[in-house]
Amino acid sequence: MITSIGYAAKSAKAALEPFSFERREPGEHDVLITIDYCGVCHSDIHQARDEWGGGTFPMVPGHEIVGRVERVGTKVNKFKVGDKVGVGCMVDSCRHCQPCERSLEQYCENTASWTYNGMLQDKKNPTFGGYANNIVVNQDFVLRIPDNLDLAAAAPLLCAGITTYSPLRQWQIKPGQKVGIVGLGGLGHMAVKLAHAMGAHTVVLTHSPNKREDALRLGANEILISTDADAMLSHQGSFDFLLSTISAPYDINAYLNLLNLDGTMVFVGVPENPFTLQAFSMIGKRRRLAGSLIGGIAETQEMLDFCGKHNITADIEMINIDKINEAYERMLKSDVRYRFVIDMKSLKP
Ligand code: NAP
Ligand code: ZN
Ligand code: ZN
């Protein structure tokens, strides 16, 4: 076994604290990765606090992992020692169900192995995430980070990047469309950069008026303050597409009313409570509402290559790992510009 050190929540809602644990020896197809940086996703908070239920503790969160290959198994042919690599929200899946065969491993019918708070495919051994010094992953779930991208700023691409790229691609966002990105946090700011790079007329919808300048700098054409009723009214029925990244409970009808005929709203944010949906928000303009979960492995590599080509990374605030609990509190106050990334050099044995 390999000894790992990291930070864990020992129980639901407990603060994160230093934790030592074991990972499997790398098998024939496995890669041992030394983790340099790990992004902090709002899903880490939801799960460490067991807001979605069914969490397994102790929990080592973290699924925006970047680092370097330290060791490879005898049958590994995609990576070599020293490669710059990443690991996102999954470390394995069944490989044989229909979604897996279509490289939609996130929708695996036999449950993907989530990077943490999940089970390996043996359905016996729990997974531990990237707030740690190393990780062992089957090479098929390891991603290649383009050389031109700063490694720390690329970490958030592994979840925030793919989670916003996938729906923008699925709904074929293109120049000339009016696209709204709802919530300017970790996911939202990546969505703005990606939608802008895809040529859409990009509008940021935020409940934080002080993010106006940032939104424009990140690539938004317009900004709409969601608490300004008149401004919201003036945009009614005008959007082709909306992507909501809001992490807290909100009135989804207020956003649906912004869509034009046949417009689509996709939510990726996962508030703790159910939505209340008014039928009239949907029927008048034949609107559509959909959800989306991260992206498959092939699409994640496609997104990374797209980001390499367009020189897109996250705007990050680097933290030492002992500041993780403070970072969570700041994220809950929408006070993050725009993704915390843990510098794993700060992790001490
Ligand atoms: P984040 O950085 O904390 O950003 C969330 C943003 O939501 C905030 O910055 C804020 O934007 C907005 N917001 C927060 N509270 C709000 C409120 N009460 N009313 C209106 N807006 C509010 O979080 P994140 O890491 O981007 O994650 C966002 C959500 O996506 C989380 O629920 C996370 O679990 C989920 N997620 C889903 C997937 C998936 O596959 N579907 C993947 C990753 C994450 P403004 O200040 O601009 O209003
Ligand atoms: Zn995430
Ligand atoms: Zn499967």
Residues 253 and 340 reside in one and the same domain: no
Q: Give pLDDT tens digits for 91-145.
A: 999 999 999 999 999 999 999 999 999 999 999 999 999 999 999 999 999 999 9
Residues 26 and 172 reside in one and the same domain: no
pLDDT given for residue 237 in this prediction: 98
Which residue's alpha carbon is at the smallest distance from atom 30 of ligand 1? Answer: 269
pTM exceeds 0.95: yes
Residue 263, pLDDT > 90, answer yes
Confidence band for 349, pLDDT divided at 50, 70 and 90: confident
Whether the Cβ atoms of residue 168 and residue 321 lie closer than 8 Å to each other: no
Give the span between the Cα atoms of 187 and 202, in whole angstroms.
Answer: 15
Evaluate whether residue 197 is within a structural domain.
yes
Ligand 2 centre to CA of 43 (Å) is 5
Residues 154 and 169 reside in one and the same domain: no
Residues 215 and 71 reside in one and the same domain: no
Residues 51 and 18 reside in one and the same domain: yes
Residues 172 and 72 reside in one and the same domain: no
Residues 122 and 77 reside in one and the same domain: yes
Counted domains in the chain: 2
Residues 166 and 155 reside in one and the same domain: no
Evaluate whether residue 303 is within a structural domain.
no
Closest CA to 126 of 91, 156, 86: 91
Evaluate whether residue 58 is within a structural domain.
yes
Strand, helix or coil at 345?
Answer: helix
Expressed as residue numbers, the domain containing 239 is 161-291
Q: 3-state secondary structure string, 96-126? A: CCHHHHCCCHHHCCCCCEECCCCECCCCCCE
Residues 155 and 184 reside in one and the same domain: no
Evaluate whether residue 304 is within a structural domain.
no
The CATH number that applies at residue 169 is 3.40.50.720
Tokens of 236: 């009614």
Residues 132 and 28 reside in one and the same domain: yes
Q: Give pLDDT tens digits for 273-284.
A: 899 999 999 999
Which residue's alpha carbon is at the smallest distance from atom 34 of ligand 1? Answer: 43
Q: Please state, for a pLDDT cut of 70, what percent of the chain lies above it.
A: 100
Ligand 1 centre to CA of 232 (Å) is 20
Q: Please state, for a pLDDT cut of 90, what percent of the chain lies above it.
A: 98
